[in-house]
Amino acid sequence: MRLERNGLIPQGFLVIDDLNDRERGDLSGLLGRRITGTRVRIDLAGLDETLRASAAQRGLADILELLNGPLVDRRAHRLNAQAARDQRSSSARDAAITEGLSVHAWCDAWLESIKPVLTRLDTHSAEATAREAARALSMLALLSADGYSEIARNDLAVMITGSAHGLDDNTTLSAIVLRGVAAAKGVGVPTTAMERRALWRDAGVITDSVSSTVLTLGLRPLGPGKREREMRNRADDSIETHLTARDLSRIQWRLEPITTVYVCENPRIVEAASDARSRAALICTFGNPNSVVLDLLSHLHDAGTEFRYHGDFDWPGIAIANRVIAHVGGTSWQMDAADYLAAVASATGELPPLVGKPISANWDLELEQRMLDTGRVVHEELVLDRLLTDLVS
């Protein structure tokens, strides 16, 4: 309604068309002038004055509220909302100045990036959250300056909020702090759990280090410690091992120079290799690899290990293979175009249809076209026997 858009101030003109006789009579009486045509142009300010001078002694806005219910001053609403946004932004900037963050080149980018997050909070919560986020970022900077490289996220949360869960992934505070870390590191805002864990780690904050694991078989680290000996014993007995992030940090990742580590996508491959008493080194990504998987691959890559990767012959499988091979500089493992065609030809049942957006395999440019021509998915466990020939040889 025009009145609501204009801040409940009657101004401008209103044109009404297609008037009938009754409507012309009613308007003539209301406006104090004779209306003869089917179209009338009404001065809203004049109508407001007429109504105030009439027996009603009320303005246009009051009359409309009596007839139709409360009106909304949309202009005031917009101004109030903008004022609230400005107050949140001002409070965040004040917090940044108080905590000494404003001296950093990335501070302005951080303040800009958190505006939409703060808008979702009421003014009081936004101000409190901005203060806590600025304090957390300042504390991380101070810890780094003092030579402390790591702090547990729950310890940092207790210092900032009084609760060990104050910086959990589902909190607004965590999102705002990570935007600050991203701005400081010059990287994008994390959108996945893996990216958030990696960014926390870059900031020297240790998140949960025991729930995520990587499934392994046959890894024989050469270090002299108890954990290395345990892994060598399990490898000799062909027993699979689940490693946590904590385990990775406590093991010296150096293998025999000639060791090739096979990497698969499906845990069924590890299970079958264990049953077959394989002595090969094998790591399972469980589909898209989590941060623990990538960390282990990085440790072994840094130690000079060579990798061979196999996964599903579908578009997500090709994407994962591209990522893993690029991460460790490895090669494919029975995953070329010829391997795909052989697997399709030997399948005894109907294979699932290939759907989704095609992805080129970085290690074999022919594979994408052969998959498009055939239009079928080959899951990794269907070529299990072929993979075992390498793992038990």
Stretch 22-43: mean pLDDT, rounded? 68
Exposure string for 205-230, b = 16+ CB within 10 A, e = fewer? bbbeeeebbbbbbbbbbeeeeeebee
pLDDT at 179: 94
pTM for the structure as a whole: 0.57
Stretch 47-75: mean pLDDT, rounded? 59
Paired tokens of 319 = 């994407």
If one counts every other C-beta atom within 10 angstroms of the C-beta of residue 350, the result is 7
Question: What span, in angstroms and rounded, lies between the C-alpha atoms of 291 and 294?
Answer: 5
Stretch 264-280: mean pLDDT, rounded? 97
Instruction: Render pLDDT for 67-82 as a digit per residue (tens, 0 to 9).
Output: 565 655 565 455 455 5
Question: What span, in angstroms and rounded, lies between the C-alpha atoms of 85 and 218?
Answer: 57
Per-residue CA distances from 238 to 220, 228, 281 (Å) = 11, 15, 10
pLDDT level of residue 225 (50, 70, 90 thresholds): very high
Stretch 201-213: mean pLDDT, rounded? 80
Asked if 95 and 131 touch (Cβ cutoff 8 Å), the reply is yes
If one counts every other C-beta atom within 10 angstroms of the C-beta of residue 99, the result is 19
Instruction: Quote the Cα angle for 240-246-250, to 5°.
Output: 85
Strand 281-284 vs strand 213-217: parallel, antiparallel, or unpaired? antiparallel
If one counts every other C-beta atom within 10 angstroms of the C-beta of residue 382, the result is 19
When the pLDDT of each residue in the chain is averaged and rounded to a whole number, the result is 84
pLDDT at 350: 93
pLDDT reading at 251 higher than 70: yes
Instruction: Quote the Cα angle for 15-21-27, to 5°.
Output: 45
Q: What pairs with residue 376 in β-bridges? A: 353
What's the N-to-C CA distance of the chain in angstroms? 80
pLDDT at 79: 47
Stretch 237-242: mean pLDDT, rounded? 96
pLDDT at 69: 58
Question: What span, in angstroms and rounded, lies between the C-alpha atoms of 84 and 90?
Answer: 10
Paired tokens of 197 = 């864990």
pLDDT reading at 261 higher than 90: yes
CA 76, 77, 80, 86 torsion: positive or negative?
negative
Domains in the chain: ranges and CATH: 2-72 (no CATH), 84-206 (no CATH), 213-391 (3.40.1360)
Tell me which residue of 241, 228, 314, 319 sits closest to 273, measured CA to CA: 241
pLDDT at 124: 84
pLDDT reading at 117 higher than 90: no
Q: What is the DSSP letter of 14?
A: E
Question: What span, in angstroms and rounded, lies between the C-alpha atoms of 221 and 231?
Answer: 7
